[in-house]
A and B are shown apart, each in its own frame.
Chain A
Amino acid sequence: MARPYWDVNILTGSKTARIIDNPVQCAGIIKKADRPLYILGPDTLDRNIGERLFLKYCLDLAKAGKLPICATGHVRKKMLELGIHPDSSYDIIEIINHLKDTEWNGVKKEGNHDLIVFSGVRCDLAERGLATLKHFAPHLKTMALCRFSHPNADFALPVIRKDRKWQDYFEILIDNL
């Protein structure tokens, strides 16, 4: 969307996500982070990528990228069933509330995180949380790994309409971590 010369004519805000079309580039951003955190919401339980549960892809990604996980909603139960214990289990608003604080010690007690990656949080709620972090957490970057795109994130994917393309994006991303 065109940005007008005069700030007074801006549509709804001046800071919007950088769209990462290339999953290899996306993997590069994740790898560069010192203390990333992967937030997994309950939509990971309701959706598939191809024939496979979205959550399983996300867990593969977390493993490949060595990302600690915060399970929101009731994701924790399914993770335990899959034999994986999440590093933390806050609900989505609670974890965002913690992330706002530069002094927070993070889920690994090693200091606050510098890159927050989101998957599976329902899109309207995720967007509100990303808005909070955009305004009140300048100390960290956010990435929305969501096929529906998120303008309030620092890094977002484009809208990916085709299931096959979405699956390819995720698989290439995992392969490059």
Chain B
Amino acid sequence: MTKNKAKTLRIINAEDTWEPVGPTPLPEIPDLRNWSMRLLKSYKPFYAPFCDLCCNCAYGKCDLTAGKKGVCGIDIATHQARWALIQCCIGLSAHAAHARHLVNHLISKHGEGYKIDLGLQVDVEAPIIRTVMGLKPETLGDLRTAIEYVEREYIHLVSSTHTAQEGNNLDFENKSLHAGMLDHVAMEVADIAQIVGYKYPTSVADTPLLNLGWGGIDSTKPVVLLIGHNAAPSIAMIDYLHDNDLEDKIEVCGICCTAHDISRYTKRAKIVGPLSRQLFYIRCGIADVIVADEQCVRADLLEEALKTGAALIATSDKICYGFEDVTDKEIDEIVAMIAEEGKQVLILDPDKAGEVAAKVAPLVSAKRNKGIDFIDETTAVKLAKDCRGCGLCNQACPNLLSIGKAIKEFSEGNTAMLSETFKMCFTCGKCEEQCPRSIPIIKIMQAVATKDTFNMRCGRGPIHDVEIRKVGAPIVLGTIPGIVAFVACSNYPKDEKEIAEMMDEFAKRKYIVVASGCAAMTAGMVKDEEGKTIWEKYPPGFQAGGVLNVGSCVANSHIAGAAIKIANIFAKLPGRANYEVIADYILNRVGACGVAWGAYSQKAFTITTGFTRWGIPVVLGPHAAKYRRLYLSRKEEDDWQVMDGRTGEMTDDYVEPAPEHLVNVIESKERAIVTIAKLCIRRNDTTAGRQIKLNHYIDLYKKYMGGLPDDLHLFIRRTADIPMFFKSEVMEYLKEVGWKEREQVGIPTLITTYPSKANIDDIK
């Protein structure tokens, strides 16, 4: 099937000549396949099956162990790749459906001609949409065009996962990469739509500091707890409270990304914490009304709400919970159903849901026995004393914690172990489920959970064009050693403070540190000796040593967007529908690295996959091994040759493995820190830049691993690259391993090393 070129050009408004249209407008699955395959040649898929069987169809189930094939002919590698694509499709659909809903809702409010204006500091408003699609979105209607493109591609991706369709693991991976790329388009649509539609902060770096922590919730007031990722109903409620002078009378707080987004809308909103503590917060009984929108909301929310007497309002077609759809009923009738009859309801009109939540909160609050769910230490100890030490709770723990021992010690008056355990706990409740004595372990943890409050920086949205102009050169030359982005969920392998420690390590070394989503929240839950969180210690700009919060999950698009802008604004590469040229530039010249230290969701997997197609490597925490697919190189064996874009010749010498992996799971925080520093090295680094990067790599390696890195010789091109401080030691090492000087590549590129329509002249 061939593309209808005229239609494509019409969709992207090709007559609008802001830039010439590049080779891949509205790319379909085959269009960037060669770029994917080139990446996968250096970074081969690594599979770690969870299950040895394929249970996909009624032919089987089929045992695929160690070389066996399914009835359909599929092998284990291809089946894992298909599974990865299914995960990516789930993640993509969550963001795309979210974006579609927001765009439709905001068009219904403002009209499709409503202008996109991201303020004086942002001219390149949608670097992802521009680069992927070739469209420069100017209105909400244009954002709808973007999401329509994503939706069209999506059905082809899902189709290929049907039994007896695709039969090659690399082609499945190309489709996963395509899904990841589309996911970034969808995220960008969603965040731009809500920034312009709700007038979130934009073109401002120094956004306000917010109140973070469950201890900061004023439960003397009626409390509405918002959970999820789609802020539309929550914002409607906030508007209602404002319009009716009720803002001081009702406490509005949130968990997860809705919390980010309401705090971008009003300074009054409070952030309770990350999603991993959802059950803990609910069982504390802080909420009178829970409003669930979409994504990362517990499936048993109704059961939990009933336990505390909270009202629960579902507001999304994604999460209906079996509730009666009361969208068409009158507001007063719905309020009566909830407040008087104790019913839980589904309201699909965000404005109506918001008003109902605001009206219901005082009524439910007056009826509830508030405070009954809070327990003091004496009560907690008494409950813990019922533990008989059977250890069944330990076996059920997804984070492999010794819950039973901690409870036992706590019952004997030693709080330290339970306190440490809580910091590693997802409060999922699996331990309680197993307990033969029904000990309320999650509730007991209230006694050791800090009720302290913290300051967190409000999400700021896109990186400013002027910031990009300032830091573009030092990033590409390497004198700012890297951009490190801490993203994703909060199922950390160990203490939650590790995320703040990692961010601090890079911020003080003058990397640019970016965060989003639950990672940004968790990072704020640690104070230094002066009582400051990381959000107070460092400047909020996209600058050396800056620590910035872009916002919720969908604001991750601005991180990829910043890398694209470096290519497009600083280096002036033509970006319109020119995906390969931009991604090649990022891969070879922009020292950026993503970190998803806690990553549980399909969305996090898809976001990660999208980053890799842009050429941005990602470090994952240990739990992410359960995603079952990574992209790895073997630094000493693989082919690292690149084209020198300046001479048009392939490099003869061995060229450093930079970046070494595209997606890897790392076992410990210490190793992750060292790996992140290494993954910021790029072939394009100048001598001064490489010296700075190696200085950090060596220093961190010595600090956390001991001695000099055993792959150091691979990253030293000439003696001038060696940091002065370590010169004699490194020279000795290089002599030992038989290192030889090699030429630095002028303009490293993969363009022309594989079949592509990309123009080599664009990279110069």
Contact = CB atoms under 8 A, between A and B. Distances in A.
Q: Do A and B come from one complex?
A: yes
28 contacts: A10-B61, A13-B52, A14-B52, A14-B65, A42-B667, A73-B670, A73-B671, A77-B704, A88-B710, A91-B671, A92-B665, A93-B46, A93-B630, A93-B632, A93-B665, A93-B666, A97-B46, A97-B632, A97-B634, A104-B637, A121-B667, A125-B667, A128-B50, A131-B50, A135-B65, A136-B47, A136-B76, A161-B391
Nearest to B52: A13
B393 to A, nearest CB: 14
> Among B46, B62, B667, which residue has the most Cβ atoms of chain A within 10 A?
B667
Given A93-B665, A124-B622, 17 more contacts: A10-B53, A13-B51, A15-B65, A73-B671, A74-B670, A74-B671, A89-B710, A91-B666, A91-B671, A92-B667, A93-B666, A94-B664, A97-B634, A125-B667, A128-B626, A134-B65, A136-B77
A81 interface: yes
Contacts of A134: 52, 65-66
A36 interface: no
A77 B706 contact: yes
B440 interface: no
A42 B705 CA distance: 12
Interface residues of A, number: 42
A119 to B, nearest CB: 13
B668 interface: yes
B41 to A, nearest CB: 15
Interface string A1-22: 0000001101011110000000
Contact of B626 (A74, A93, A124, A136): A124
Contacts of A125: 622, 625, 665, 667
Nearest to B67: A138
Contacts of B675: 91
Contact of B400 (A94, A123, A129): A123
B298 interface: no
B707 A12 contact: no
A41 B666 CA distance: 11
B667 A41 contact: yes
> Among B391, B666, B671, which residue has the most Cβ atoms of chain A within 10 A?
B671
Interface in A70-116: 72-74, 76-77, 79-81, 88-89, 91-94, 96-98, 101, 104
Given A91-B664, A93-B625, A132 B706 contact: no
B61 A74 contact: no
Given A74-B668, A122-B622, A15 B66 contact: yes
Interface in B51-84: 51-53, 60-67, 76-77
B632 A73 contact: no
A129 B48 CA distance: 6
Contacts of A91: 664, 666-667, 671, 675
Contacts of B666: 91, 93
B65 A77 contact: no
Contacts of A81: 706
Contacts of B53: 10, 12-13
Contacts of A10: 53, 61, 63
B63 A131 contact: no
A94 B667 contact: no
B594 interface: no
Contacts of A135: 47, 49, 52, 64-66, 76
A5 to B, nearest CB: 14
B561 interface: no
Interface residues of B, number: 44
A125 B668 CA distance: 11
B65 A128 contact: no
B134 interface: no
Contacts of A101: 634, 637
Contacts of B670: 42, 73-74, 77
Interface in A23-77: 41-42, 72-74, 76-77
Interface string B671-715: 100010000000000000000000000000000111100100000
Give the 3 A-B CB pairs with smallest separation, nearest first.
Answer: A13-B52, A74-B670, A77-B706
Contact of B52 (A12, A41, A79): A12
Nearest to A76: B705
A104 B626 CA distance: 26
Contact of A122 (B52, B493, B630, B632): B493
Nearest to B620: A93
Interface in A118-154: 121-125, 128-129, 131-132, 134-136, 138
B623 A73 contact: no
> Among B62, B705, B707, which residue has the most Cβ atoms of chain A within 10 A?
B705
A128 B66 contact: no
Contacts of A89: 705, 710
A12 B65 CA distance: 10
A91 B667 CA distance: 7
B706 A14 contact: no
Interface in B497-511: none
Contact of A131 (B49, B398, B704): B49
Given A77-B705, A123-B400, A12 B626 contact: no
A77 B391 CA distance: 33
Contacts of A136: 47, 76-77
B406 to A, nearest CB: 15
> Among A7, A80, A94, which residue has the most Cβ atoms of chain B within 10 A?
A94
Contacts of B667: 41-42, 72-73, 91-92, 121-122, 125
A131 B623 CA distance: 15
> Among B48, B67, B704, B707, which residue has the most Cβ atoms of chain A within 10 A?
B48
B298 to A, nearest CB: 22
Nearest to B666: A91
Contacts of B67: 138
B38 interface: no
Nearest to A42: B668
Nearest to B663: A93
B221 interface: no
A42 B67 CA distance: 32
